[in-house]
Structure 1
Amino acid sequence: MSEQTRPDDDGTARPAALRADRLEAYMLGHYMGALSGVRLFDEARRSWAGTPHEGRFATFHEEIRHDIEELETMLARLGFSRRTLAKALGTVAGIASRLNPLSRIRERAGVAAHGELEMLQSLVVAKRSMWVTLLELVPDEPRLDAGQLRRLEAEAADQYDRLLEVARETARDRFRAHG
């Protein structure tokens, strides 16, 4: 018998149950990342204010906020306490108050701003990976909603494509000599 199976009452190998502590740790790690991510998307929204891309970044910010609400709902459905979520929020807020990772890259026309776009893309890739991973766990965790996870994964893929589109539309100008 492997680690992934356990004997049933009749000795038949059955899939081992998911470990709630591992699932909670995994999801809380992503939850804390999402809380940081929404802050970074809000900073990007402010950075792109007054540009043709302003509306796109406002939309990204709202979508990320909605993703956090979906994740909170999922965590509650899985029985993870509000106190645990509040603790994660407190941890992220404490770190965020001391760090400002985008403070050096406010210039939306510079090369550093392109790095900001790439960082935002990587956050969306990580989020999409979480939805895919959770989708794989659906057979062992019936409180996870496969339809919801497929929708969230597709939305993350779309967000990535739209961020990539902004990067493509603005990249050449960032690397050109001016004046």
Structure 2
Amino acid sequence: MAGLDRAEKQQLLSYLEDHLLGATGGVRLFEAASKTWQGTAHGRTLARLRDEIDGERTTLLRSLRAQGHRPNPAKMTFAYLSAAAARLNPLNVRRTGDGPGAQLELEALQSLVRGKEALWETLLVLLDAGWSFPGYDRESLGRMARRAREQQQEVAAIMTATAAERFRR
């Protein structure tokens, strides 16, 4: 993070760490959703998205570590506790593809991916302002922002393809 003073660097690292925490919970929510839709094409899509997001989370963690930053243990404990709660699938406790719980689950997944897209877009702006991030360049950040938009579209496609049936049950 060339050209940053200590306070600026700490603010940015805190922002990145918060996205790492969100990604930790997001992976678990995608896991829960893939179980909801297990045995269907939607389940396979959600499992693939979970794997992609988990990979992006790992890359973000590596970037933080490359900058000499170790995530706050208290925050990470909170993230893992939240992730454990996500495994219980509080939005869709029945773990079915019908009703408002399934709708809320899909909407939450879209929101998570939108937040991730905002991260990549923010880093692109900062990169243009002369900041640097280990493990990321303009091409990789642009690719990740585009992929986040595609991921949102994939979740939205599941939501729209199943909405009428979901609320008929």
Q: Normalising TM by the smaller chain, what interval?
A: 0.7 to 0.9
SS at match of 1:166: helix
Structure 1 unaligned regions, length at least 5: 1-14
Q: What is the TM-score when the length of structure 2 is the normalising length?
A: 0.84
Greater Rg by CA: 1
Q: Which has the higher helix share?
A: 2
Q: Take 1:161 and 1:171, find their aligned partners in 2: how far apart are those partners?
A: 15
SS at match of 1:104: coil
SS at match of 1:80: coil
CA deviation after TM superposition for structure 1 residue 51, in Å: 2.2
Partner of 1:46: 35
Structure 2 unaligned regions, length at least 5: none
Return 134-143 or 164-173, whichever deviates more.
134-143
Q: What is the TM-score when the length of structure 1 is the normalising length?
A: 0.80
Partner of 2:150: 158
Return 136-145 or 21-30, whichever deviates more.
136-145
- Note the aligned Cα RMSD (angstroms): 2.2
Structure 1 counterpart of 2:110, from 110, 113, 121: 121
SS at match of 2:41: coil
Q: Which structure is richer in relative contact order (CA contacts within 8 A, separation 6 or more)?
A: 2
CA deviation after TM superposition for structure 1 residue 162, in Å: 0.6
Contact map agreement 1:131 1:149 (CA 8 A) in 2 = yes
Cα offsets for 1:116-152 (capped at 9, x unmatched): 1011000000000011001111133223522111111
CA deviation after TM superposition for structure 1 residue 102, in Å: 3.1
Cα offsets for 1:2-37 (capped at 9, x unmatched): xxxxxxxxxxxxx97570110011111111000000
Partner of 1:142: 132
Contact map agreement 2:92 2:105 (CA 8 A) in 1 = no
> In the alignment, residue 89 of structure 1 is paired with which amino acid?
M
> Number of residues paired by the alignment?
161
